[in-house]
Amino acid sequence: MRPTNTERKRPREIPSESPSNRISVPLAWRRRVQRTSSLLESFYHATRGISVALQGERNLKIHFVMAIAAVGLGCYVHLEAMGWALLFLAIGLVITAEMLNTAVERVVDMFCGGQYNSLAKDAKDVAAGAVFCASIASLLIGGAVFLPALLAMLK
Protein backbone atom coordinates (compact mmCIF):
# COMPACT_ATOMS: atom_id res chain seq x y z
CA MET A 1 0.00 0.00 0.00
CA ARG A 2 1.40 3.42 -0.99
CA PRO A 3 1.63 6.10 1.72
CA THR A 4 -0.61 9.12 1.40
CA ASN A 5 0.76 12.63 1.00
CA THR A 6 0.58 13.26 4.74
CA GLU A 7 2.39 10.00 5.59
CA ARG A 8 5.33 10.60 3.25
CA LYS A 9 8.62 11.73 4.66
CA ARG A 10 8.84 15.50 4.59
CA PRO A 11 12.03 17.19 3.39
CA ARG A 12 14.18 18.97 5.96
CA GLU A 13 12.79 22.38 6.84
CA ILE A 14 14.94 25.48 6.50
CA PRO A 15 15.49 26.98 9.97
CA SER A 16 13.38 30.07 10.54
CA GLU A 17 14.80 33.44 11.43
CA SER A 18 15.35 34.27 15.06
CA PRO A 19 13.02 36.80 16.74
CA SER A 20 15.91 39.28 17.05
CA ASN A 21 16.28 39.39 13.24
CA ARG A 22 12.61 40.20 12.84
CA ILE A 23 13.00 43.33 14.92
CA SER A 24 16.15 44.76 13.35
CA VAL A 25 15.67 43.76 9.69
CA PRO A 26 13.11 45.50 7.50
CA LEU A 27 10.19 43.27 6.54
CA ALA A 28 10.74 44.09 2.87
CA TRP A 29 14.18 42.48 3.02
CA ARG A 30 12.76 39.23 4.41
CA ARG A 31 9.93 38.91 1.90
CA ARG A 32 11.60 40.17 -1.27
CA VAL A 33 11.56 37.99 -4.39
CA GLN A 34 13.14 40.44 -6.83
CA ARG A 35 16.64 41.89 -6.90
CA THR A 36 17.94 43.61 -3.80
CA SER A 37 17.72 47.37 -3.71
CA SER A 38 20.93 48.08 -1.79
CA LEU A 39 24.38 46.71 -1.13
CA LEU A 40 23.57 46.52 2.58
CA GLU A 41 20.57 44.30 1.84
CA SER A 42 22.78 42.03 -0.30
CA PHE A 43 25.21 41.64 2.59
CA TYR A 44 22.31 40.86 4.93
CA HIS A 45 21.13 38.01 2.68
CA ALA A 46 24.67 36.66 2.27
CA THR A 47 25.39 36.61 6.00
CA ARG A 48 21.97 35.10 6.68
CA GLY A 49 22.79 32.35 4.16
CA ILE A 50 26.03 31.57 5.99
CA SER A 51 24.14 31.51 9.29
CA VAL A 52 21.43 29.20 7.93
CA ALA A 53 24.04 26.82 6.51
CA LEU A 54 26.04 26.79 9.75
CA GLN A 55 22.94 26.13 11.84
CA GLY A 56 21.74 23.24 9.71
CA GLU A 57 24.81 21.51 8.32
CA ARG A 58 27.03 19.35 10.52
CA ASN A 59 29.72 19.01 7.85
CA LEU A 60 30.00 22.77 7.42
CA LYS A 61 30.60 23.11 11.15
CA ILE A 62 33.36 20.51 10.86
CA HIS A 63 34.92 22.41 7.95
CA PHE A 64 34.86 25.65 9.96
CA VAL A 65 36.54 23.96 12.94
CA MET A 66 39.20 22.49 10.65
CA ALA A 67 39.72 25.91 9.07
CA ILE A 68 40.29 27.46 12.50
CA ALA A 69 42.74 24.65 13.34
CA ALA A 70 44.61 25.23 10.06
CA VAL A 71 44.87 28.97 10.75
CA GLY A 72 46.13 28.19 14.25
CA LEU A 73 48.76 25.84 12.83
CA GLY A 74 49.71 28.52 10.31
CA CYS A 75 50.32 30.96 13.15
CA TYR A 76 52.34 28.33 15.02
CA VAL A 77 54.68 27.59 12.09
CA HIS A 78 54.87 31.27 11.01
CA LEU A 79 53.65 30.85 7.45
CA GLU A 80 54.87 33.29 4.83
CA ALA A 81 52.53 35.31 2.62
CA MET A 82 52.28 32.66 -0.13
CA GLY A 83 51.48 29.96 2.43
CA TRP A 84 48.71 32.10 3.90
CA ALA A 85 47.32 32.82 0.45
CA LEU A 86 47.20 29.13 -0.41
CA LEU A 87 45.72 28.26 2.98
CA PHE A 88 42.90 30.82 2.68
CA LEU A 89 42.24 29.77 -0.91
CA ALA A 90 41.89 26.14 0.19
CA ILE A 91 39.61 27.09 3.10
CA GLY A 92 37.45 29.23 0.82
CA LEU A 93 37.24 26.43 -1.75
CA VAL A 94 35.96 23.87 0.76
CA ILE A 95 33.53 26.21 2.53
CA THR A 96 32.12 27.39 -0.81
CA ALA A 97 31.74 23.83 -2.10
CA GLU A 98 29.96 22.76 1.10
CA MET A 99 27.56 25.71 0.94
CA LEU A 100 26.77 25.02 -2.74
CA ASN A 101 26.18 21.38 -1.81
CA THR A 102 23.75 22.54 0.88
CA ALA A 103 21.93 24.74 -1.62
CA VAL A 104 21.66 21.89 -4.15
CA GLU A 105 20.36 19.49 -1.49
CA ARG A 106 17.69 21.91 -0.31
CA VAL A 107 16.48 22.80 -3.79
CA VAL A 108 16.33 19.12 -4.76
CA ASP A 109 14.44 18.27 -1.57
CA MET A 110 12.02 21.11 -2.21
CA PHE A 111 11.22 19.95 -5.73
CA CYS A 112 11.01 16.26 -4.89
CA GLY A 113 8.70 16.76 -1.93
CA GLY A 114 10.13 13.79 -0.05
CA GLN A 115 9.71 11.40 -2.99
CA TYR A 116 12.62 9.28 -4.24
CA ASN A 117 13.94 10.28 -7.65
CA SER A 118 17.07 8.81 -9.21
CA LEU A 119 17.99 12.12 -10.90
CA ALA A 120 17.62 13.93 -7.58
CA LYS A 121 19.89 11.35 -5.95
CA ASP A 122 22.44 11.83 -8.74
CA ALA A 123 22.36 15.61 -8.32
CA LYS A 124 22.90 15.35 -4.57
CA ASP A 125 25.66 12.75 -4.98
CA VAL A 126 27.47 14.88 -7.57
CA ALA A 127 27.28 17.92 -5.28
CA ALA A 128 28.66 15.84 -2.40
CA GLY A 129 31.39 14.58 -4.71
CA ALA A 130 32.36 18.18 -5.47
CA VAL A 131 32.82 18.80 -1.75
CA PHE A 132 34.93 15.66 -1.51
CA CYS A 133 37.15 16.81 -4.40
CA ALA A 134 37.55 20.26 -2.83
CA SER A 135 38.46 18.63 0.50
CA ILE A 136 41.09 16.40 -1.11
CA ALA A 137 42.55 19.41 -2.94
CA SER A 138 42.69 21.35 0.33
CA LEU A 139 44.45 18.46 2.06
CA LEU A 140 47.07 18.41 -0.70
CA ILE A 141 47.50 22.18 -0.43
CA GLY A 142 47.77 21.87 3.35
CA GLY A 143 50.44 19.20 2.96
CA ALA A 144 52.41 21.35 0.53
CA VAL A 145 52.16 24.37 2.84
CA PHE A 146 52.66 22.76 6.25
CA LEU A 147 55.02 19.81 5.66
CA PRO A 148 58.12 21.87 4.80
CA ALA A 149 57.50 24.19 7.76
CA LEU A 150 56.91 21.30 10.16
CA LEU A 151 59.98 19.38 8.90
CA ALA A 152 62.12 22.51 9.31
CA MET A 153 60.93 22.85 12.90
CA LEU A 154 61.90 19.23 13.65
CA LYS A 155 65.50 19.76 12.51
Catalogue the active-site residues.
98
Alpha-carbon span 151 to 54, nearest angstrom:
35
Alpha-carbon span 93 to 95, nearest angstrom:
6
Instruction: Write the DSSP symbol of residue 18.
Output: P
Helix ranges (H only) for the chain are 19-24, 27-31, 39-56, 58-77, 81-112, 118-154
